[in-house]
Structure 1
Amino acid sequence: MTSPTPQVAPGTPDRRRWFALAIVMTAAFMDLVDVTIVNIAIPSIQRDEGATFSQIQWITAGYALAFAAGLITGGRLGDIHGRKRIFLIGIGGFTLASALCGFAANPEMLVASRILQGAMAALMVPQVLSIVHATFPAHERGKVFGLFGAIVGLGAVSGPLLGALLTEWNLFGLEWRPIFLINLPVGIAGLILGRRFISESRAPRALKLDLVGVALVTLGLLMLLYPLTRGRELDWPVWGFVSMAGALPVFGALIAYERAKARKDGSPLLELSLFRVKSFAAGIAVQTVFGIALGIFFLVWTLYMQVGLGWSILRAGLTGVPFSIAVSVAAGLSVQKLVPRFGRKVLQAGALTMAAGVLTYIWESERYGAAITSWQMALPLVVMGVGMGLIVAPLTDAVLSDVPKEHAGSASGLINTVQQMGNALGLGLVSVVFFGVIDERVAPGAIGAEFVNGFQHALWWVAGVLVAIFLVMFLLPRTASGARGAEAAEVPGPGPEVPGSTAPEREKVLVP
């Protein structure tokens, strides 16, 4: 018989919280790397497995669709059943799915394993921000989100570099398989240490899983993201546009149902009251648009280097190292040093700095053409990396700063979902802003010039999106959320009232 789980006294930080942070950050990094590591190894997978183009497409798309469709549900499951419990289930399932991917006997098994891997990531990833939100006091979250931003920066570029190294080394003659098998020791360690050091937390009220909400949000996201993912491969069929348009009334029905569900029993899948929090609503808008910019840039950049310039996998991966370092350094400085003093202006400076890096990249691409070198790309990549670092960490803090802890899982799921939606929209736009200006009928010797032209055209779109992000950021709170949270932390009192509850209630944080 299990003994009752004691409750931490309100306002008492868990002494093991930094061990817990290291564990959940490692899981977040593992997911970020896994999203990008596969793309670099696609030629090796296709050659070794004899996969068709459609199967290759689904190796990446299956993960993305399962991930995006399950994020909100995964976040809510953490609120209901415990964030530690769902995190451990997620990381355990992710590790098992990685093993199945690494030992896949045929393309069909690899696709199925990738879909399972995406579904498990949807359980694991929302708990990362939720556990941070529930474990750390308000005055420490700025430092924590700075670390989170650094992890995002490292994951953005480490995936392609790590994938290039593991594929070229051909460890034990396994070809591409180590890109998945490398998750096994990391996942097993996270599972063991997570049981020991992560404190359990859940919503203070007995919530129920909203199955109708799950069905509607999954259907709406699939109707939107599936055509975007496969549109170019299928030559943009009419049914794809009908499906994307049909997603709007599905989302409308979801909102109407969630409002009724909140009035009925206070257990909706989507906590719509969150959008009455100005910082959350504005932050979600910025996250979506920022995801579009990143979705366009990273795919076009990879194609530009490997296909247009004819660079090797390893050279392309190494070229991104300055970007990764710049993001990590700027993310740490932004939250710990700059945001407490300058507030929202730091994020806006980040958008303008990133746009300046994009414009510098366009200028260099025009000047050097297909003869451009990796060291010539270093300057615009560092400027872009600094700009991104000034955005990613403070933005996460801004979105979650005023969210009641009992809805941290739902809010975290929404943050990750809109990021995925933004990326999917950006990837869809690549067909227009990049492939749409490339003449595929040119002689092989002229393909480099075509890709240079397409790269420049796409980057003008990225610069325009970043300017739009700068304007949307005026909706964010002026002051640093970390400073507001620190002030609030000094005044003990009840948290915000939960819709459907009769009295304010505190978050339940339990020691395992």
Structure 2
Amino acid sequence: MSKAGQTEQPATAGPPVTPEAPEPDPKRWLALAVLLVATFMDLLDANIITVAIPAIQRDLGASAVAVQAMTAGYTLSFAVLLITGGRLGDIFGRKRMFLTGVAGFVVASALCAAAQSTEMLVASRVLQGLAAAVMVPQVLALIHVTFAPQEVGRVVSLYASMIGMAIVCGPVIGGALVDWSPLGLGWRSIFVVNLPVGVAALVGAWRWMRESNSPHAKRLDIVGMLLAIGGLLLLMLPLTLGRELGWPAWSIVSLVAAAPVGVAFVLYERHKTRKDGSPLVTLSLFKVRAFGAGIGVQLLFSAVPAGFFLSWTLYLQGGLGWSALHTGLTAVPFSVCVPLVGSFAVRRLSPRYGRYCLLAGALMMLAGIASYAWVADRTGADITSWHAVPAMILLGSGMGLLMPPLTALVLREVTPQEAGAASGIINATGQLGAALGVAVIGGVFFSALGANAGPQADRALPEHRAVAPQHVTAVRTCATDSLGQDDLTKVPPSCTMLLDGADAGGREAIAGALGDIRGRTFQTTYSETLYWTAAGLIPVTGLLFLLPHHRVRKQEAAV
């Protein structure tokens, strides 16, 4: 185990060799392809539904509450069962649980595609999330126990790149499927596409994947599982739905109640460890410096890209009117840089420079976010995808320098028998951090949007002389009302009254003024939000100094 300060030792991105580690599997790279496809399928499904929501509303008559339930149902069911899903793999076999999760995901996807009501679609989405929670923790666990230490870093960089690709590809693929409507399926095609992919993953996993489990923890910790699920639900539910519902009293109570439930979970896990050595989470994992500090970094770091891409999508599609395809293509430089830089980082930079590699990644991401804010503020409505290229390169390169080495470092000293539980914790932490980022950065964005609407209207209206003087105040009111609400697609009564009271020429002038105000408000709000998002990387940078500073000797690095 590493000590504080710099350690001179042969560094690998993976875990130490242990007597329990199996011989390298000759089919491990084929198995890895299956694991990466399953990872992409899960993350794609978490993001793809957003662009299909209007079509689903038209077809099924889904209410705003039902729409929230479609997205939140998947996220919540997935997040709260991740730790349990990881431990199930340790106990019953990681290959077996992976196959179970993929099969459940395929069945749930078929039910989503066949849904005839919003209730059926919501229930199927919840089932999808539960299946994903069984499937996903096995990915990192199988990587950890399947690959040799010198291979783990490169494999984790591929895993991280798959995450980045899925985040930006979701809206693109979803938009293309909904627009093209293959076989006349419309929005249902976004779920049908999972069926052949999932079946292929099942066949590949069955043929190429080696079974593994933990020789310990043979009993399922039911009480610990219920406490973990309850605590995560109390945290995730308000973070996921609180802002959209206006932070009702129950959401605050839920957040407060999460603390004592978390304490109860820790106390019970200590008792369970003393009693029979079969806890849901081995708390001694957090005494390992690389794991404990790394989980803290993972929590805060996950909030930044989640918050960035939320505000980015709202800005481009809601403010500038870009299509989902246009938006997704703008992120191509990010998607390309994550795997390229990540692979180089885990093989060359992280072993040679230790945690300085991760620090460089955090600073590069900060520079990328700040530069995008500056460009958006200067170019306004004239911004193009080309303006975003330098910022996206910085963001993708920074994430490549930080995320793959961090994941490999967190797993570094985890024993193979704890791989499933550790993977579940890593994934659950990432989900919690993402929810935190969406809640906080989303809250900042929407609050600033409402606050900026009035001042931007005052600046824009004098330039729109075609707007009749008697309509100027009403246009300002309409702009502030429409941009100050949580659902930006709704038309407030003030706008309806304004348009009903104007003739055809007046409506055209009013629409032009409202469009200009909307664009200016989104531009200003997005820049402000990005500066706050960049500030979120400051505590991440500070926490990185708590990580062990593993470096290879200079002569070994030169080999």
TM-score by length of 1: 0.90
Distance 2:325 2:36 in 1: 26
* Runs of 4+ displaced beyond 6 Å: none
Distance 2:59 2:389 in 1: 34
**Secondary structure, counterpart of 1:379 in structure 2:** helix
Alignment of 1:2-401 (within 5 A): 12-205=23-216, 207-401=218-412
Q: CA deviation at 1:347?
A: 0.9
Residue 154 of structure 1 contacts residue 328 of structure 1 at CA under 8 Å; is this kept in 2?
no
Residue 150 of structure 1 contacts residue 332 of structure 1 at CA under 8 Å; is this kept in 2?
no
Residue 164 of structure 1 contacts residue 317 of structure 1 at CA under 8 Å; is this kept in 2?
no
Q: CA deviation at 1:11?
A: 5.4
**Secondary structure, counterpart of 2:269 in structure 1:** helix
Distance 2:21 2:348 in 1: 28
**Which residue number corresponds to residue 449 of structure 1?**
520
**Which residue number corresponds to residue 509 of structure 1?**
none
**Once the two structures are superposed, what CA deviation does each residue of 1:432-470 show, in whole Å capped at 9, x if it has no partner?**
310011126553321121212221121112111112211
Q: Is 1:476 the equivalent of 2:487?
A: no
**Which residue number corresponds to residue 496 of structure 2?**
none
**Which residue number corresponds to residue 507 of structure 1?**
none
Residue 149 of structure 1 contacts residue 332 of structure 1 at CA under 8 Å; is this kept in 2?
no
Distance 2:341 2:151 in 1: 18
Q: CA deviation at 1:431?
A: 4.1
Distance 1:265 1:438 in 2: 54
Q: Is 1:461 the equivalent of 2:532?
A: yes
Q: CA deviation at 1:10?
A: 5.8
Distance 1:314 1:146 in 2: 26
Identity of aligned residues (%): 50
Look up the equivalent residue of 2:333 and give its one-letter code: P
**Which residue number corresponds to residue 495 of structure 1?**
none
Q: CA deviation at 1:206?
A: 5.1
Residue 84 of structure 1 contacts residue 201 of structure 1 at CA under 8 Å; is this kept in 2?
yes
Look up the equivalent residue of 2:395 and give its one-letter code: M
Q: CA deviation at 1:430?
A: 3.1
**Secondary structure, counterpart of 1:268 in structure 2:** coil
Look up the equivalent residue of 1:173 and give its one-letter code: G
Residue 21 of structure 2 contacts residue 145 of structure 2 at CA under 8 Å; is this kept in 1?
no
Q: CA deviation at 1:295?
A: 2.2
Q: CA deviation at 1:26?
A: 1.1
**Once the two structures are superposed, what CA deviation does each residue of 1:387-435 show, in whole Å capped at 9, x if it has no partner?**
1111121111011010111100000000000101011111111343100
Distance 2:214 2:281 in 1: 14
Look up the equivalent residue of 2:405 and give its one-letter code: P
Distance 2:368 2:445 in 1: 19
Distance 1:127 1:285 in 2: 21
Where structure 1 has 5 or more consecutive residues not aligned to the other structure, the ranges are 1-7, 488-512
Distance 2:404 2:44 in 1: 18
**Secondary structure, counterpart of 1:434 in structure 2:** helix
Look up the equivalent residue of 1:465 and give its one-letter code: G
Residue 153 of structure 1 contacts residue 325 of structure 1 at CA under 8 Å; is this kept in 2?
no
Distance 1:35 1:11 in 2: 34
Query: Bigger radius of gyration, 1 or 2?
Result: 2
Look up the equivalent residue of 1:68 and give its one-letter code: A
**Secondary structure, counterpart of 2:136 in structure 1:** helix
Q: CA deviation at 1:288?
A: 0.2
**Once the two structures are superposed, what CA deviation does each residue of 1:342-387 show, in whole Å capped at 9, x if it has no partner?**
1211111000000000110011011011221111112111111111
Cα distance, 1:431–1:159 mapped onto 2, change above 3 Å: closer
TM-score by length of 2: 0.83
Distance 2:200 2:329 in 1: 28
Q: CA deviation at 1:109?
A: 0.8
Cα distance, 1:208–1:365 mapped onto 2, change above 3 Å: same
Distance 1:27 1:438 in 2: 37
Look up the equivalent residue of 2:533 and give its one-letter code: V
Distance 1:325 1:44 in 2: 31
Does 307-316 or 113-122 show the bigger shift?
Answer: 307-316
**Which residue number corresponds to residue 497 of structure 1?**
none
**Which residue number corresponds to residue 10 of structure 2?**
none
Distance 1:229 1:19 in 2: 36
Cα distance, 1:206–1:303 mapped onto 2, change above 3 Å: closer
Q: CA deviation at 1:232?
A: 2.1
Cα distance, 1:138–1:55 mapped onto 2, change above 3 Å: same
Distance 1:159 1:366 in 2: 27
Distance 1:9 1:390 in 2: 31
Residue 228 of structure 2 contacts residue 265 of structure 2 at CA under 8 Å; is this kept in 1?
yes
Distance 1:239 1:159 in 2: 32
What is the alpha-carbon root mean square deviation over aligned residues?
Answer: 1.6
Distance 2:109 2:56 in 1: 15
Q: How many residues align?
A: 476
**Secondary structure, counterpart of 1:192 in structure 2:** helix
Look up the equivalent residue of 2:288 and give its one-letter code: V
Q: CA deviation at 1:312?
A: 1.7
**Secondary structure, counterpart of 2:122 in structure 1:** helix
**Once the two structures are superposed, what CA deviation does each residue of 1:237-264 show, in whole Å capped at 9, x if it has no partner?**
1221111011000000000000000000
Cα distance, 1:155–1:133 mapped onto 2, change above 3 Å: same
**Secondary structure, counterpart of 2:212 in structure 1:** strand
**Which residue number corresponds to residue 410 of structure 1?**
421
**Secondary structure, counterpart of 1:479 in structure 2:** strand
Residue 210 of structure 1 contacts residue 268 of structure 1 at CA under 8 Å; is this kept in 2?
yes
